Structure 1
Amino acid sequence: MHIRNVEISDDSIRLGQFLKLSGLAEDGGHARALLEAGEVTVNGRGETRRGRQLQNGDVVAVGGEKARLVTPVTG
């Protein structure tokens, strides 16, 4: 299964925001509905917290689609 990389400019992002940014959810209401229905996984584990902080390399999946968070290289 193909995993799409989604780059952000900060070091972390909340799950609800990432769902919208990555295109896994159409908008905030859709993201909330997906989470409440238990359809979202982070690194293979079910997640229902919209405010969960994601870190570089985390993989979020909804149905058959997956997106990996990529943050800027620091240093």
Structure 2
Amino acid sequence: MQQLDFQLERDFVELNQLLKLAGLCDSGGAGKALVASGDVHVDGVVETRKTCKIRAGQRVEVGDVRIDVVAG
């Protein structure tokens, strides 16, 4: 499994934007489609809210990629 650390510079980032910023998709729209597919897990639970707020301390998993969100 590939692990990425994402440095959060503000209070939260929307899930679709996180996927874009982490390089897992090319745009926010592609991020929304990825979330809608049911392949995105937040803290071990399938997340279907495309713009849910992701905060420091949370973990996002897509396929074999894990993103740990850390305070910047």
The reply on whether 1:65 has 2:65 as its aligned counterpart is yes
Q: Deviations over 1:27-71 (max 9, x none)?
A: 122211111110100011000111111111111111111111112
Give the 4+ runs in structure 1 shifted more than 6 A: none
TM-score (norm. length: structure 2): 0.87
1:2 Cα offset (Å)? 4.1
Identity %: 35
TM-score (norm. length: structure 1): 0.84
Q: Which residue of 2 aligns with 1:11?
A: 11
Larger Rg: 1
Q: Could you tell me which runs of 5 or more consecutive residues in structure 1 were left unpaired when the two chains were aligned.
A: none
Structure with greater strand share of residues = 2
Q: Deviations over 1:7-28 (max 9, x none)?
A: 1211211111111111122212
Q: Which shifted more, 28-37 or 56-65?
A: 28-37
1:3 Cα offset (Å)? 2.2
Once residues 46 and 54 of structure 2 are traced to their aligned partners in structure 1, the CA distance between those partners, rounded to angstroms, is 14
Q: Could you tell me which runs of 5 or more consecutive residues in structure 2 were left unpaired when the two chains were aligned.
A: none
Q: Please, what is the CA RMSD of the aligned residues?
A: 1.3
